[in-house]
Amino acid sequence: MEISNITTSTKPLPQKTDDSVDIDYVMEMVLIVLYSITVILGVTGNSIVIWMTGCKLKKTVINIWLLNLAVADLVFCFTRVTSLLKLLFYTYWPFGEFLCKFNGFFTYMNLFCSVFLLSVISLDRCFSVVFPIRIKQWRTVQMASFASVGVWALATAFSLPYFLFRRVSMDPGNGNLSKCSFDVPGSNDGYQNKALYIVRFFFGFLVPFLIIATCYTIMACKLRQTRVPKKSYKIIAALVAAFFFCWAPYHVLLLAKMVNKKSLAVKVALPLFKGLAYFNSCINPILYFLMALDLKKRFNQTLSSVYNRAFSEESDSSSHCQSRRRDRCSMTNTEQVAAL
């Protein structure tokens, strides 16, 4: 068995014909591109976010949330390196059982941690808008840190089955070479897999979506009546929209797979939608940068200053207050001049 693994350590070139298209090969190339982009942009961007929110900027509640979100995304991007190497060079799983378990575990840890954090952030923003005075005594960096620990613990609990039941086994359909797959001992009817699909859909997508949608509906109604600066709310809304845009097709397709496992459309689209879902781990730092970029200054701004604008929770309100003070002073001066 070991000899078989050694002799096929590199991937053979696909056999091409003039009248057919190797769909598996095309989808594999698409995944390689998506994984490469995810790893390169994700590791770089999330490292910058962690450096800014963890080391450079003042500790605020929103920075605690975004720091934890970036840590989850960064670790996930590192796990994609093994998957990328496997796609590029191997027709089997060469990295052993621990990395097989850890890869599966942190894929779903990232899903649950990200969506739970986005739900907590949305609730935090909503309470700040609806109960701005009462929430002040509870909305502290210490409480945000405790809440983040709770989110990680809850995400770990939901992701634990993907560590316990993920294993390396022999694949009869691939010359008995090793494969990394989810396998519950004593289960032949796929009932456990379907149960996990349903849990993942409800708690990793539907319930958080309803919470977030409710929060933003309330905030939209409230903010429309006030002149509160909305920059930070727009950034969080963009993160939420990006998450659901990237993960929604994957969840919908998993439900379709439960109905018809042999569907060709599901087989072709699932790897692509999985790659799109993983792409979400590198998109947040790009959103921070684009939404905080000051187009008027063009090239007269550093990366640090752009991210500082994105993460500075007080900058909006302080600049807003300063603007209002300037307006009042200007009006007063005008009145004084008119009186003279």
CA proximity to 307, closest of 59, 51, 43: 51
Kindly indicate whether the domain formed by 2-8+21-339 is annotated with CATH number 1.10.357.10: no
pLDDT at 338: 39
For residue 179, give the DSSP letter.
E
pTM for the full predicted model: 0.80
User: CB count, 10 Å around CB of 8?
Assistant: 15
Rounded to a whole number, what is the distance in angstroms from the first to the last CA of the chain?
A: 98
pLDDT at 20: 52
Instruction: Determine phi and psi for 166, rounding to 5 degrees.
Output: -95, 130
pLDDT at 259: 82
Q: Are 126 and 212 in contact (CB under 8 A)?
A: no
Coil vs helix vs strand at 300: coil
pLDDT at 297: 64
Q: Are 330 and 312 in contact (CB under 8 A)?
A: no
Q: How far is CA 335 from the centre of its chain?
A: 53
pLDDT at 70: 93
The stretches in the chain having pLDDT less than 70 are 1-21, 176, 186-190, 225-232, 294-304, 311-340
For residue 138, give the DSSP letter.
T
Q: Where are the domains of the chain?
A: 2-8+21-339
